[in-house]
Amino acid sequence: MQLLPNILDELGPGRSRRLLAFIIPRRGLGFSVEKMAEEALTCAQASRMNESRQSADLIGRLRAAGASGVDDYSFKLKTNEKNDEIFRDLLFEGKAALMFLNHRWQVELRDRPDLKLQFAGELLYAEVKHFRRKEQDQKDEDAMLAATDELVRYGDLGKAEGSEAWEQVVTVARNKVGQYVEGAPNILVVESSTVSLELMASSAVHAIDEACGSGDLGLCRLSGLVLVDASGWKSLQRDVEFCKTSHAAMPLSENLCRALEEIQSETRFA
């Protein structure tokens, strides 16, 4: 039987935290800590194999679709494969790139910002942010399963985390100001594994517009927001919302707006 510290090292930081959160309340209740940890390790190894296959499939799709910068992107995935949270965040960068490629955009995966995009000769930069699944999601799902004929409110992050979902999107947009390219249009692509962000694009953009109107020059570098619901809550489809900002230093052209609006919810990933 493996020792718990060795198992935690193998699991990596993200899975280790979740494992300890499960084990600690059960100490002294007749549970074998090492046995539970070994079972968790087996599940984690199977999950990691699945993620490895998913990564290889994604890399293959990106190459086949004509993306550039794939070698460097593949190296980043390989370097972070033992950190499951960062690894999954990076996977979503690739999925965002593939979404654009599938809609006739030219895409280069890069750093600061994450994507260089072109459509019909027009240039656009995109920074990608993955919102991970939240504890509130599980609480909401449990509440809905327990409900009979009453309506259940979901996605209420204001009470759970101290800020609403749209406020968290605005915070991310502000934190990434240094990565937007001056003299070019920039968008923020939010890949959301939490249902809490559903239909929050317009609220976030409204707040960004207000901030720009009040003199926030950093946020004025942002030309639009694309919100991708990757939570799987409603279906296997990835529903996409696009909202342009009203006070951008470099506004999106009508052609780019139409191209972004055409990215519909039929985008799927195995």
Q: Which of 90, 89, 2, 79 is nearest to 10 (CA)?
A: 2
For the chain, the average pLDDT equals 79
Residue 32: predicted pLDDT: 60
4-30 pLDDT tens trace: 555 455 555 555 555 555 555 555 545
Q: What number is the average pLDDT over the span 113-120?
A: 97
Would you tell me the crossing angle of helices 33-64 and 70-79 to the nearest 10 degrees?
Answer: 180
Burial (0-12, 13-18, 19+ Cβ within 10 Å), 16: buried
135-162 pLDDT tens trace: 665 565 555 555 666 655 555 555 656 6
Q: What number is the average pLDDT over the span 157-170?
A: 73
In Å, how far are 21, 119, 141, 192 from 137, measured between CA atoms?
A: 17, 36, 6, 12
Residue 267: predicted pLDDT: 46
Which stretch of 32-41, 169-178, 236-245, 257-266 has the lowest confidence by average pLDDT?
32-41
Residue 163: predicted pLDDT: 73
Quick check: bond before 251 cis, omega within 30?
Answer: no
Kindly state the tokens that stand for 147: 């409900």
212-243 pLDDT tens trace: 999 999 999 999 999 998 765 444 445 888 99
Residue 80 main-chain phi, psi, to 5 deg = -110, 15
Residue 64: predicted pLDDT: 97
47-91 pLDDT tens trace: 555 667 888 999 999 999 999 999 999 999 999 988 888 998 999
